Structure 1
C-alpha cells in the first residue's frame, strides 16, 4: 500500500511537470505565431514604404514650380484674350483663365455664370484654342492634340427650326439673344479652327446638313481617318505621353 502511495506521488509530480511543459509549449507556440506575424507586418511595412517612395517620386514629378505655372497661365491668358478679341469681345483684366480653378472668365464672371449661348461658345472655343496653342509651345506635352466639337453651328445664327425636317424628333430652340449673328464672328471661328488644324486634329460633329459654313470648313481642313487618329492616340499611350 505504501508503494502505491509513493507511485501516486510520483504520478502527481509527473502530471505537474507535463502540465507545466504543456503551458510552456503553448506559450512558445504563441510566441512563434506572434513572431511570424511581426515578420509578416515588417515585410508589409517594407513594401508600403517602397510604394510611398514611388508615390513621393511621382508626386515630385507632378509638382510644378510657381515660375513654370506662371509662365503657362501667362501664355494661356494671352492667347485666350487674343481669341476673345478676334470674336469681338473686350478682353480687359477681368477676362482671364483662373490659375486656381482652371476655368475661363469674362468681365469678371466665370463661364458658369454667363447665360448668353453665343458668349459661352466663344469663351469655350477661346479656352480650348488657348490650350491647344500651349501644346504647340511645349506647355502641354501630354495633350493628344485632338479636339472634337459638337453642334458648332447651334449658336452661330445658322441653325433655324424651320430648316429642320418635320419628322425631326428633337428640335433645338435657340433664342435670338444667344445667337452669334455677326457673320464676321463665326467667320473668325472657322478661321481659328483652320489655323489650329495645321498642327492638331479637329473633328466637328454637326447635325445641320445645310450649314454652308460647316461644310466649307470641313473641306478646307485637313482630315484624318478614325484609324489614323486611333493609331496616334495608341502610340502616345504606349510611349506613356498620356
Structure 2
C-alpha cells in the first residue's frame, strides 16, 4: 500500500496518530497546567494556614460561638446606652431652670441659622468668582479688537506689490477666489475697522454693567459675612453664660456615667474584634472550598496525565489494539486465523504474516478492513482512553466478497457474514451509549433485531434513501 499509493498511506498514518494522541506536546501542556494549579493550591494553602493560626491565637472557636457572643455584646450595649440616656435626662432635669433652657434653645437656633448663612455665603463666593471670570473674558476680547484695529492701521501705511496673505503679485492676482485679501479696497478695510469699534463699544457696555453687578454681589457677600460674625459672637456669649450658670453644679451621676462610658468602650472594642474574627472565619470557609476545588482540579489533571502517559506508550497501545483485533477476527470466524496484528510502524493490518491486501482474496480484505476500523472504534471509545475519535463509524456493504459473491472458497460460508452482524448486535448491546455504528448492506440475516433496522429500500426505486429519510 505504501509503495503503490504513498499519499493515501501517509494521510492514514497521520490520522491514526491523531486519534491515539501520539504527541508529547499534549502531556507537556497538561504538566504545565498541573504546575500552575499546584502553585495556586500552595498559595491558597498558605493563606489558610495563616488564618487558622490567627484564629487559634485569638481563641476563636467557630462561627456560632462568635455570633452568639456578638449578640450578647449588642444586648449589653443597648442596655448601657439606655441607662446612660436615663442619667443624662436626670441631670438635665436636676440642673435645669428657665434661664438655662432659654439659652440652650437660643444657642441651638443660632447655630442652625449660622450654618444656613455659611452655606449661602459659599454659594455667593462661587457666583462672584464666575462673574469675575466673565469680566476677564470681556477684557481679553477688547484687547483682541484693539490689536486688530491697530493692525489694519499699520498695514495701510505700506504699498504692497505682493499680497501679504497669499504672496502672489497683486497685478496678476486680483479678485482671486482663493484669497480673501486680494482685490479688497481700502474702503472695505475701513468698514471692517468701524465694525470692530462698534463691537468694542458693545463689549465695553456689557463689561460696565457686569462690574456694577459684581460690586452689588460683593456687598451681598459682605452682609452675609457680617451676619455670620454676629451670630458667632452671640453663640460664644450665650455658651459662656451657660458655663457660668452650670459651673457650680455638681453632677451626682458623674461616677456612674464614667463607669458606663468605660464599659461601653470595652464592649465596642470587643465587638470590633469579633467582627474581624467573623470576617476571618468566612474567609477560612471560602478558602476550604477553594482548596477543595483546586485539589479536584489537580487530581483531574493528574489522571489526564497518567492516561496520556499510557497512550503515549506506543508499544502498549499497539499491543492493546492487536488483542482486540484478534478478538474481533475470531468472532468473525476468519478462516485459518493466525499471526494477525497491526504493524507498529505503518499502522496496516497483517494476517498469516502478510499484508492484508496481499492475501489474494477480496473477502479477506473486507473482513480485515472492517475488523481494523472496529478495533480502533472500540478501543478509542473505551473509558480508559482519552482519544480524539468521533466515536462514529460508517460501514458500506460488509457482505462484499463474502458468501455466494466470494470467488474464494474459504470465504463463501454464509456464517461469516452472519457472525459480522452478530458482532454488530453485541456492540449495540454493550456500547450503544458510547459509539454510533451505521451499516449499509443489501440484505441481512434474521438474527438482526428489528429495532436496529433504520430503513429498508425497494429494488424498484419506489423507496429510496434521498426520498424517504
TM-score with structure 1 setting the length: 0.51
Shift of 1:77: 0.2
Deviations 1:165-206 (A, max 9, x none): xxxxxxxxx553178322322221001112223232111123
In structure 2, C-alpha distance between the alignment counterparts of 1:175 and 1:184, rounded to whole Å: 13
Shift of 1:212: 3.8
**Are positions 1:60 and 2:25 aligned together?**
yes
Shift of 1:88: 2.7
Aligned pairs for 1:113-152 within 5 A = 113-137=358-382, 138-139=384-385, 141-152=387-398
**Are positions 1:205 and 2:450 aligned together?**
no
Greater helix proportion: 2
Deviations 1:141-181 (A, max 9, x none): 211111111122222325xxxxxxxxxxxxxxx55317832
- What secondary structure sits across from 2:400 in the alignment? helix
Q: Is the 8 A contact 2:402 2:412 kept in 1?
A: yes
**Are positions 1:73 and 2:318 aligned together?**
yes
In structure 2, C-alpha distance between the alignment counterparts of 1:128 and 1:187, rounded to whole Å: 18
- What secondary structure sits across from 1:154 in the alignment? coil
Q: Is the 8 A contact 2:333 2:419 kept in 1?
A: no
Match of 2:348 among 92, 100, 103: 103
**Large movers: runs of 4+ above 3 Å:** 62-67, 89-92, 215-218
Shift of 1:220: 4.4
C-alpha RMSD of the superposition: 3.1
User: Gaps spanning 5+ residues in structure 1: where?
Assistant: 1-57, 159-173, 224-242
Distance 1:195 1:102, change over 3 A: same
Deviations 1:84-138 (A, max 9, x none): 122233444x310111101100011112322211111111121112111212324
Deviates more, 1:193-202 or 1:116-125: 193-202
Higher gyration radius (CA): 2
Q: Is the 8 A contact 1:97 1:103 kept in 2?
A: yes
**Are positions 1:191 and 2:156 aligned together?**
no
**Are positions 1:180 and 2:411 aligned together?**
yes
Shift of 1:70: 1.8
User: Gaps spanning 5+ residues in structure 2: where?
Assistant: 1-22, 29-307, 455-469
Aligned residues: 147
**Are positions 1:84 and 2:49 aligned together?**
no
Which structure would you say has the larger RCO, counting Cα contacts within 8 Å and 6 or more residues apart?
A: 2
In structure 2, C-alpha distance between the alignment counterparts of 1:200 and 1:178, rounded to whole Å: 34
| Counterpart for residue 217 of structure 1 | 448
TM-score with structure 2 setting the length: 0.28
